[in-house]
Structure 1
């Protein structure tokens, strides 16, 4: 009897093995996640392109990415990304010691580096509408920009460590110096060496060239730029950019 049953079982096992070999492979959730919707995948790639300086000269955030950028700015990922940049700066500072001559300097941008404009851009669809210089000027005159907390913490550590801090901004000196100075003061940015703004001689000059010229003047005065932080590549490019540059995220607008 057993001799008759054994061939039957072997035959059934062969049939089962053949069926299993033709069945589609099971996808384990941990290894084969469902693909992101196309617009989410594209917008993530677009944002990475902005931060890598591959996407340039855009006038608005792509329409299909407005909601994605809003979620990025308000949903926690932006703050997390800023925190990682600041952590890297702290690690860099742990390896450096300022000299005793008071000439070791750091450069800070102002807009969306020291002070956040997220409230303003929230009313502009987070970069989904073209930049309006008069509208932004009215916003800046109000002096209501909050500090970016992680950057303020970095700023205070630099001063305590003995570095000189210079703030360089493309804001207009004639119309916005008072409101900018008061805004910085109210948000805790005290003790910086100098706030350098765009005066009439530099109107019409690109941000990268303007800031490069201002940094060169500082170097000519004997300062050593040990670090430079900003949210735009134009804050960090050009002459005398510093020993290290650190780019904060900002996918809402581009400043050439």
Structure 2
């Protein structure tokens, strides 16, 4: 559908079958038979938010509420049994299929929580009654209940990360922040999250450019030498990212930034959103009452 300025959105399919949707602006007299659009999609995780699906067109509030309900049910329940874990995975898999998301990238992003959960999980088998360490070590008879607790920590952390990752992967950052604000989250928190999302990408770009510069100037350095050099250049990298962040902020102010990112489409709660929240509530009740 076109507006008065010629701004509209259409879908396009890539060679791998992924369908994306972007806004476009055509000049008057545009003939689609004689002009072809080319789109560049970055490898960043945020590129998944442009995949066109029924879930990507839903209101962000419904996806946030559904993810929160499911995460709370996973966290407050005892360590999930096999049937419960399989049920949660089935729900998340159905969401993944409806969202048309690539499984490998979602798993890779959700696995980012494991380096933080695994050290905590490994401490659980060593803990004995009263907070002391058991004498049998990790594989002693006293560690049996600890391994159950360790499984609960890892499984809950990973399943919760999967639920949040799926919600974020189907919602663009401005829509996600707008949904948080409409749910009553203080504006100062959404503004901080907006800057974190923007400046984290700036930091990643600075790291990437530094790696390219090092590879072009010293292509034969060993990994140990590179690690030592990265340690020396960490301060310079942070300073460069800080300077770039200040330039980005100044550019945003020049373009009328008022504390909130512009949202390219307006969404509202409807029957699909209510169905999504209802499914999340029923799944949470099943986990809690099983």
Q: Which range, TM-score by smaller chain?
A: under 0.3
Q: Which has the higher contact order (CA 8 A, sep 6+)?
A: 2
Q: Name the one with the larger strand percent.
A: 1
TM-score by length of 1: 0.21
TM-score by length of 2: 0.20
